[in-house]
Amino acid sequence: MTDDVMISLENVSKRYRGQKAPAVENVSMTIRRGEIVVLVGPSGCGKTTTMKMINRLIEPSSGRICVDGADVTSLDGTELRRRIGYVIQQGGLFPHMSVATNVGMVPKMLGWSRRRIDERVDELLHLVGLEPGQYRNRLPRQLSGGQQQRVGVARALAADPPVMLMDEPFGATDPLTRDRLQNEFLRLQEKLQKTIVFVTHDFDEAIKMGTRIAVLGERSRIRQFDTPERLLAEPADKTVGQFIGAGAALKQLNLRRVDAVEWNEAELMHRDESPTAVLRRLDESGAWAVLTVDSERRPLRWVGPRDLEPGQTSLDGVGIPVAVVEPRATLQDALDAMLGAGCGASVVVDDDGRYRGVLDIESLMRAIRDMREVERDRDRGMAEAPPRLPRQSDGSRDSASVRTLESR
Amino acid sequence: MTASTLAAGTATPSRWPGLLRRHSAMPLVIAAALLGTYLWVRSSRLDDIEQRSLNATTLLRLLRQHLELTAVTTVVVVVLAVGAGILLTRPALRWLAPGATALANIGQATPAIGLLVLLSIWLGIGFTTALIGLIAYAVLPVLQNTIVGINQVDRSLVQAGKGIGMSPLAVLVRVELPLALPVIMAGIRTALVLAVGVATLAAFINVGGLGELIVTGIKLQRASVLVTGAVLTAALALALDWLGGLISDLLRPRGVA
Ligand SMILES: Nc1ncnc2c1ncn2[C@@H]1O[C@H](COP(=O)(O)OP(=O)(O)O)[C@@H](O)[C@H]1O
Ligand SMILES: [Mg+2]
């Protein structure tokens, strides 16, 4: 076994007691150190069962699973699970314990000192973007869904496990929150470099989160195990194609991140400048609008010539509010933000919300054109080959209807 | 932060006002009933027989006997039934639970007086016999509520506990039992009230207790003795139930409805 393999499954099967067909049949895969492998497939196909066998919440009926070179059946289950982070839908937080107690649970089991636990809890809450002073003593029900989810992630990270298992971790949150959690988590993962097995039934989420994606069919059979790019460009068979659904090009917006395309510069002006100065700047630069910022260079509003009336003395409340995206966000996020704000440009900001650049609809269109070229080349190349990307035959179904398989 | 609008500050509001509101009525009701009975007995002329029963020494002795019987029963029942309930919710023994509740149900379904008589034929009369009868009678609600209380804990929380690396014992003590506590406490309260009521029957097998007043009252046709016995028993049952409710609320973990 090579050094960079973190988790390996060899011919793993699971048959639940009293059931004729196995829930998982003969699955083999290797997961490398530091990658996010997404298990994606329709509801009931055995994703959760496959994942739970890795930390022995479920014992396999046959086959072998190794984590970090050791056969998991040779280890004590509880000990094993302390070295593997575990996140489930809605965080699985204990409702009768404070945020701090929840997060500090594993360190406590490991016998850490009180002080060390407290420090670690604060550190982790910081890490997931929750101010410790404000949230440490709250009960889970005093948090929003997204915040609960973040605490769930913090709890899983408590003992700094090299491996994390995440079972539809962001499944119970609304789309906007889910996007934010996904972006935050990817940013976190850049720092942490954990080996992650991530289960979802949402193909868009798989594309966004996965270093590699395993598309699973019935009984967890692996239909294709590939990078998102290759999965979109070359679905292995009809079922995978169906799963990807229509609009593969549009989905590729999920693959490109904002920092991978060219940004433009906006004409920045401080919010305290006068309307006359704005008009002068618009005139000089030929820009369609200026971007007002505060003293920290955080973007506020777009102000165009038509937003300014004669005799106006201040820029307060003038213009349209900006849509902001982070460099880590996908082009899909950027497009959503633009559509949401009703404005053909998103402002790219750093972690502190400061201005970095502007992504406008033209750059986005250019990126889409590039991707369509790739797709067209591929379609031409596959013209004679039978497995073509199938289209939805039912005209009433659009690409949105295949976003989540489980909800249909 | 948007979250600050969700819950103001970190301090949870004090639980005392709610406790006071929920638990202040019952002591008044009990006090009123006792006072009313006392004044009524006081105002009537008592004959010899009545005086022999209705004096402070006798009443306190009977009350003490009654409390002893109830307390020992409750302690034994809690230990036995909660322990059994925990065992019967472990994955390995879960299949035994229906059989065990059915067995406990036999004790409950048999008429209490019949059970006591049968036991005394077998074991002779005395404190131990009364105790065994009471335990058999009061074990079901605690056993059943322990099983139900633990089983109603969200399975995903138990899985989460196990999943993050808590030992089975830690999951039981830190997750399952605290979350099942309100239901278990309700079972214990039911058992307490049952025990107080059924303990009156102990008088029939010469173990004393407040039932003696009732038996005397009926046999010798003295309403004042009968009513005093009945009121004291009812007041004791209500008082213990009230105490149980208070303790249950005090023990209830934060964040559990
Ligand atoms: N504890 C269990 N006992 C029996 N059958 C189960 C159990 N858990 C899951 N299954 C069955 O195994 C199959 C796979 O389930 P699961 O792994 O939860 O799928 P997924 O996570 O992909 O939705 C389903 O048919 C489900 O009904
Ligand atoms: Mg699942």
| A203 close to B (CB below 8 A) | no
State residue A293's pLDDT score: 93
Mean of pLDDT values over B138-163: 94
- Runs of H (alpha helix) within A158-253: 175-192, 203-209, 228-233, 238-244, 248-251
Q: Where in chain A is the domain with CATH 3.10.580.10?
A: 260-364
Topology of domain A5-253, per CATH? Rossmann fold (3.40.50)
> What is the per-residue pLDDT for A369?
78
- Non-local (6+) Cβ contacts of A5 within 8 A are A30, A31, A32, A33
Token pair, residue A268, equals: 């920045």
Q: Does A92 touch chain B (CB under 8 A)?
A: yes
User: Predicted confidence band at B239 (pLDDT cuts at 50, 70, 90)?
Assistant: very high
Domain spans in chain B, listed from the N-terminal domain onward: 26-35+48-251
- Model confidence at B242: pLDDT above 80: yes
Which phi and psi angles does B242 have, rounded to 5°?
-60, -45
* Residue A49 or residue B3, greater confidence: A49
Cβ contact, residue pair A106, B164, below 8 Å = yes
Q: Which residue has the tokens 């290759």?
A: A230
- Give the Cα separation of A100 and A359 in Å (integer): 40
Are A137 and B7 inside 8 Å of each other by CB?
no
CA A85, chain centre distance (Å): 17
If you search the block for the tokens 């019935």, which residue do you land on?
A218
B167: pLDDT strictly greater than 60: yes
pLDDT at A119: 96
List C-alpha distances in Å: A347 to A30, A291, B2, B79. 40, 9, 22, 65
The Cα of A256 is separated from the nearest Cα of chain B by a number of Å equal to: 29
Q: Which residue has the tokens 């407290």?
A: A118
Q: Do A94 and B161 touch (CB under 8 A)?
A: yes
What is the assigned CATH class of domain B26-35+48-251? mainly alpha
What integer best gives the mean pLDDT of chain B? 88
Residue B162 touches partner A, C-beta closer than 8 Å: yes
- Residue B51 pLDDT more than 90? no
Write out chain A residues lying below 8 Å of B160, CB-based. Answer: 86, 88, 92-94
Pocket of ligand 1 (CB under 6 A): A 16, 19, 23, 41, 43-49
Q: Which of A53, A67, A78, A79 should be substituted to probe chain B, the one whose Cβ sees the most B Cβ atoms within 10 Å?
A: A78
Superfamily of domain A260-364: CBS-domain (3.10.580.10)
Kindly give the number of the ligand 1 atom that is closest to the alpha carbon of A406. Answer: 23
Q: What is the pLDDT of residue B108?
A: 79
Other C-beta atoms closer than 10 Å to the C-beta of A346 total 30
Contact A140, A127 (CB under 8 A): no
- Comparing A367-371, A404-408, B15-19, B215-219, the range with the smallest average pLDDT is A404-408
pLDDT of B75 reads 95
What is the nearest CA distance from B61 to chain A, expressed in angstroms?
44
CA distance B44 to B154: 59
- The tokens describing A238, both together, are 């009809």
pLDDT band of B39, cuts 50, 70, 90:
very high
List the one residue out of B190, B197, B189, B195 whose CA is nearest residue B251.
B189
Q: Which of A88, A139, A165 sits opposite B254 (nearest CB)?
A: A139
Helix/strand/coil percentages in chain A, nearest 5: 40, 25, 35
d(CA A225, CA A212): 7
Length of chain B: 257
| pLDDT at residue A174, as a whole number | 87
What DSSP element (H or E) covers B247? Answer: helix B223-251
Counting from 1 in the atom list of ligand 1, the atom nearest the Cα of A168 is: 21
Residue A200 CA to ligand 1 center (angstroms) comes to 14
B112 against B27, higher pLDDT: B27
Nearest Cα residue to A330 out of A279, A282, A285, A364: A364
A155 and A105 Cβ atoms separated by less than 8 Å: yes
Distance (Å, whole) CA A137 – CA B249: 21
Per-residue model confidence (pLDDT) at position B74: 94
- Residue pair B79/B92 in contact by the 8 Å Cβ criterion: no
**Looking at residue A376, what is its pLDDT?**
65
pLDDT at B133 over 50: yes
Report the alpha-carbon distance of residue A32 to residue B146 in Å, rounded. 46
Band of residue B2 on the pLDDT scale cut at 50, 70, 90:
very low
- Residue ranges, CATH 3.40.50.300, chain A: 5-253
Q: Is the model more confident about B169 or about A340?
A: B169
**Confidence tier at B251 by pLDDT (50, 70, 90):** confident
Q: List the strands of the sheet with A323-325, edge to edge.
A: A323-325, A345-349, A355-360
- The alpha-carbon gap from A176 to the nearest alpha carbon of chain B, in Å, equals 14
Interface of A with B in 51-80 (CB under 8 A): 52, 55, 57, 78-80
pLDDT in tens, chain A (408 residues): 556 899 999 999 999 998 889 999 999 999 999 999 999 999 999 999 999 999 999 999 999 999 999 999 999 999 999 999 999 987 799 999 999 999 999 999 999 999 999 999 999 999 999 999 999 999 999 999 999 999 999 999 999 999 999 999 998 888 888 888 998 999 899 999 999 999 999 888 998 899 999 999 999 999 999 998 888 878 888 878 877 776 666 777 887 888 888 888 999 999 888 888 888 898 888 888 899 999 999 999 999 888 888 778 888 888 888 989 988 888 888 888 888 888 888 999 998 889 999 998 888 888 777 776 766 665 565 544 433 333 333 333 333 333 333 333
